[in-house]
């Protein structure tokens, strides 16, 4: 089971990280607004691509709720540029190669793949409220349909009504990846 250091109600750790264009993006820049901060393992992989594309598809809904979506991985800014260009992503992608912010949020943890243990990014999402407090945490995320799940929670937290519901194809993984 994934264990997070932080819990709802805690002050969100501040950070400044470069975006895909090497511009510094800091959490404090979004004071007074909602932030959806999600951590993902790697650009260009099936699950991470699906998650980023879903957040991009629903970005208008998040913007209408005064929320910014920030995706963070250990990939380089150059990798983020290629990823964003290839998939026409309009969300902010931030680079944390030393996993300092990923670690501060408790998303840098031991993982296992094919019998091998290693440290890596656990796919997780945090909603940060306009006062800089953590409003909700998903400590372990399945990418298919997650953006809709986050949108629904943000609707609940902000009191705004959802703009539309996802179709079944937007919430189910392709058969080859289940």
Q: Is residue 83 part of a domain?
A: yes
Which two three-digit tokens encode residue 71?
């995706």
Q: What is the pTM of this model?
A: 0.87
Number of domains in the chain: 1
Q: Is residue 82 part of a domain?
A: yes
- What pLDDT, on a 0 to 100 scale, did the predictor assign at position 178? 40
- Annotated catalytic residue 48: yes
Q: What percent of the chain has pLDDT over 70?
A: 88
Task: Give me the catalytic one of 16, 26, 48, 53.
Answer: 48
Q: Is residue 143 part of a domain?
A: yes
Q: Is residue 15 part of a domain?
A: no
- What is the mean predicted confidence (pLDDT) over 57-65? 93
Closest CA to 119 of 107, 130, 109, 128: 109
For the chain, give me the number of helices (H) and strands (E)?
A: 6, 9
Q: Is residue 5 part of a domain?
A: no
- Neighbour-count burial for 88-97, b at 16+ CB within 10 Å, e otherwise: ebebbbbbbe
- What pLDDT, on a 0 to 100 scale, did the predictor assign at position 171? 42
Q: Is residue 178 part of a domain?
A: no
Q: What are 156-170's pLDDT values in tens digits?
A: 999 876 555 444 444
Structural domain boundaries, residue 98: 30-171
Closest CA to 37 of 29, 168, 88: 29
Please give the helix or strand (H or E) that residue 110 lies within, else none: strand 108-113
Q: Is residue 74 part of a domain?
A: yes
Closest CA to 154 of 60, 54, 67: 67
**In the structure, what pLDDT confidence band is assigned to residue 4 with cuts at 50, 70 and 90?**
low
Which residue is listed with tokens 């890596």? Answer: 120
Cα angle 130-69-158, degrees, rounded to a multiple of 5 = 40
Domain CATH code at residue 163: 3.40.30.10
How do beta strands 24-26 and 92-95 pair? unpaired
């Amino acid at each position: 089971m994934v264990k997070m250091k932080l819990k709802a109600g805690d002050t969100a750790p501040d950070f400044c990280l470069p975006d895909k264009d090497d511009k510094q993006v800091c959490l404090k820049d979004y004071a007074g607004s909602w932030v959806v901060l999600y951590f993902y393992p790697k650009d260009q992989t099936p699950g991470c691509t699906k998650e980023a594309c879903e957040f991009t598809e629903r970005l208008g809904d998040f913007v209408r709720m005064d929320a910014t979506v920030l995706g963070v991985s250990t990939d380089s800014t150059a990798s983020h540029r290629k990823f964003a260009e290839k998939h026409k992503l309009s969300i902010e992608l931030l680079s944390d190669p030393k996993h300092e912010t990923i670690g501060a949020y408790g998303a840098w943890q031991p993982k296992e793949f094919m019998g091998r243990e290693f440290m890596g990014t656990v796919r997780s999402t945090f909603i940060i409220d306009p006062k800089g407090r953590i409003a909700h945490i998903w400590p372990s995320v399945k990418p298919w349909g997650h953006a809709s799940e986050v949108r629904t929670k943000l609707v609940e937290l902000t009191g705004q009504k959802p703009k539309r519901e996802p179709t079944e194809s937007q919430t189910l993984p392709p058969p080859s990846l289940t």
